[in-house]
Amino acid sequence: MSQPAPETATGGSTAAAPETGSATSRSVPQAQRERLLELDGLSKSYGTVHANRDISLHVERGEIVALLGENGAGKSTLVKQIFGLIKPDRGTITIKGDASPIKDPRDAIRRGIGMVHQHFQLVPVMTVAENMILGNETTSRGVLDIDGARRLVRELSEKHGLRVDPDAEVEDLPVGTQQRVEILKALSRSVDLLILDEPTAVLTPQETDELLKVMKELAAGGTSIVFITHKLREVLAAADRVYVLRQGAVVGEVATADTDARGLATMMVGRDVVLRVDKDEATPGEDVLSIRDLVVLDDRQLRAVDGFSLDVRAGEIVGVAGVEGNGQRELVEAIAGMRPPQSGRIDLLGKDITKANPHETHVAGIGHIPEDRERHGLVASYSLADNLVLNRFSEKPFANGFVRDFDAVRQNAEALFTEFDIRAAGVSAPAGSLSGGNKQKVVVAREMSFGPKLLMAAQPTRGVDVGSIEFIHRRIVAARDTGAAVLLVSAELDEVLSLADRIAVIHGGKVVAEMPGKDAERTEIGRLMAGDH
């Protein structure tokens, strides 16, 4: 913290209170303003793809700026250039008036830029203290000063109110705490500008609220923050100003006080988006899925699903709401046949599928949109056409006996491309080449197009852009309307609230409450999710 800071209030926490009638609550008085970062005409291309096109923006001291955009809009590319991980093709980055190119992350750190990456850059088998000093070690006569590192962690965590044990190994810490370590690590390098790349993607709602609070406190203490997100609520809750990116270019800049969720969403996708899902009243039929006293062990052999019972009827969407890690993943895997249950029973249309394998559950009529599409949903190196028949490549009409029918596979792909609005270079392009939203549409198309009796969607819109979210939501409702039973498992409470006809709250591996979706209370569910019942 040795830069010639012009502002007077340093070291204060929330003392620099808002109370100015101005719209942006933390805006610094004009005299104290300092332009910390300025980008001018920044461009970066990969082959023919323009990841960033002529981007100009600026960040003032103590300001929180959000970069909002769909997947593939170029947000990550942009901040990686500011942090020196990627070199821009054209344009300048000016940090505190210094426009010399940023050579590498070390240079960026030296000039006061800190970054918290989407995938944490922490060494899992090392302690918090070791991670804290990595790359910036102090030694005495050649020996690492680990005690000093411990002290540093304690001091910083006290100063910023971010509690963390310096001797804990990073891999043993929950994700939210790991992120805290990342933030502390950045702060230990005396940052002026902290970049957060999708910081809330892995956090629980509680952890998210905590993070947003920390961000505001840091900003009040004079640190500028740039954060990437595609969640509108967070932008409105935390940011002073927002830049909206689309297809690599800035398409809008607005103070958050002058806009709302709808306005931002429209800017992001370039058209009006229906955030609420329009759907008719459900007309549930017979029981399709029936789960009784299910117990499923997780990878550590603990009872992740612990006496779970639930029925899902034809023509209704049942949403399973819960904080991640309460057995949702194991539940879904058990139903899909990917993880054999310890005890209990799963029936599909009266047929016992407790011990079925994934192929058998598909044959029985389950369409499964898995949580991790990269690992369980797609084969990245296979063509899109093949990916679209992964679950039935050996069935008619895609195969005659042992011989595959490539014409049928291609026609199927072409039809689904149109129906599900999949945007790709062609049906023979590898699945790995698509953006997140389009990949998810491929999975959705495959799992919906064979007419499943039960559609099981796990985190169906995670990491997916707003336009695709809207589309996927509409398709889920359409599947319900054609008589499928839908089991929706999502960590996004908003998603569950807007889609589900019935909501089951899961905590500690069992259903703690069930209620109709229509007039479910957000706060009530939040309380139940947190284990308060």
Partner 1 sequence: MEWVKRNQITVGATVVVLVAAYVFYGINSNVATSMFSGAWFFAVPLVLGALTGVVGERSGVVNIGIEGQMLVAAFAAFFSASASGSLVVGVLVGMLAGIVMGAFLALTTVKGLMDQIIAGVVINIVATGLTSFFYRPGKVLSANMPQWNVPILSNIPLIGDVFFQSGPIALFALVSVPVVHFALFRTRWGLRTRSIGEYPSAADTAGIDVIRMRLVNVTIGGIFAGAAGAYLSMEATGGFERGMTAGRGFLALAILIFGGWRPLRVFAAALFFGFTNALASQLQGVVNIPQQFITLLPYLLTLVVLAVAAGRVRAPGAVGQPFVKGEGS
Nearest C-alpha neighbor of 194 from the set 297, 361, 73, 62: 62
Residue with smaller CB distance to partner 1, 75 or 502: 75
Residue 125 near partner 1 by CB under 8 A: yes
Tokens representing 162? 């971010």
- Give, to the nearest 10 degrees, the angle between helix 466-481 and helix 436-449: 10
3-state helix, strand, coil in the chain (%, to 5): 35, 25, 40
142 binds partner 1 (CB under 8 A): yes
CA angle 241, 100, 96 (to 5 degrees): 40
Residues of span 262-281 touching partner 1 by CB under 8 A:
none
Q: Which is closer to partner 1, CB of 114 or CB of 370?
A: 114
Q: How far is the CB of 377 from partner 1 (least distance, A)?
A: 19
The 85-104 contact track toward partner 1, x by CB under 8 A, reads xx-----------------x
Where does this chain touch partner 1 (CB under 8 A) — which range of 7-15, 81-89, 214-222, 464-472? 81-89
CA distance 334 to 343: 11
**Is residue 115 involved in binding partner 1 (CB under 8 A)?**
yes
Burial class (CB in 10 A: 0-12, 13-18, 19+), 10: exposed
If binding is defined by CB under 8 A, does position 43 make contact with partner 1?
no
Q: Which is nearer to partner 1, 145 or 253 (CB)?
A: 145
What is the closest distance, in whole angstroms, from the C-beta atom of residue 119 to partner 1 in the complex?
5
Q: Measured from the CB atom, is 439 or 475 closer to partner 1?
A: 439
The conformational region for residue 451 under phi > 0 = left, psi -120 to 50 = alpha, else beta, is left
* Tokens encoding 300: 């550590």
Question: According to the binding rule CB under 8 A, does residue 507 interact with partner 1?
Answer: no
Residues 6+ apart with CB under 8 A from 40: 56, 91, 92, 94
Residue (120 or 382) nearer to partner 1, CB = 120
From residue 58 to residue 77, what is the string marking binding to partner 1 with x (rule CB under 8 A)?
------------------x-
Residue 119 touches partner 1, criterion: CB under 8 A: yes
List the one residue out of 306, 266, 307, 312 whose CA is nearest residue 288: 312
Q: Which is nearer to partner 1, 13 or 136 (CB)?
A: 136
Q: Which two tokens stand for residue 406?
A: 């490539």
* Amino acid occupying residue 314: A
Binding of residue 167 to partner 1 (CB under 8 A): no
Provide, rounded to whole angstroms, the least separation between the CB of residue 320 and partner 1. Answer: 30
Under 8 Å between Cβ of 204 and 124: no
Tell whether omega for the bond before 397 is within 30 degrees of 0, i.e. cis. yes
Q: Residue count at the site for partner 1 (CB under 8 A)? A: 31
Helix 406-419 to helix 436-449 angle, to the nearest 10 degrees? 110
Are 199 and 179 a contacting pair, CB within 8 Å?
A: yes
Contact pick of 122, 184, 384, 504 for partner 1 (by CB under 8 A): 122
Binding part of the chain for partner 1, among 105-113, 211-219, 280-288, 407-415 by CB under 8 A, reads 105-113
Q: Is 42 in the site for partner 1 (CB under 8 A)?
A: no
Return residues touching partner 1 (CB under 8 A).
76, 80, 83, 85-86, 104-106, 109, 115, 117-126, 130-131, 133-137, 139, 142-144
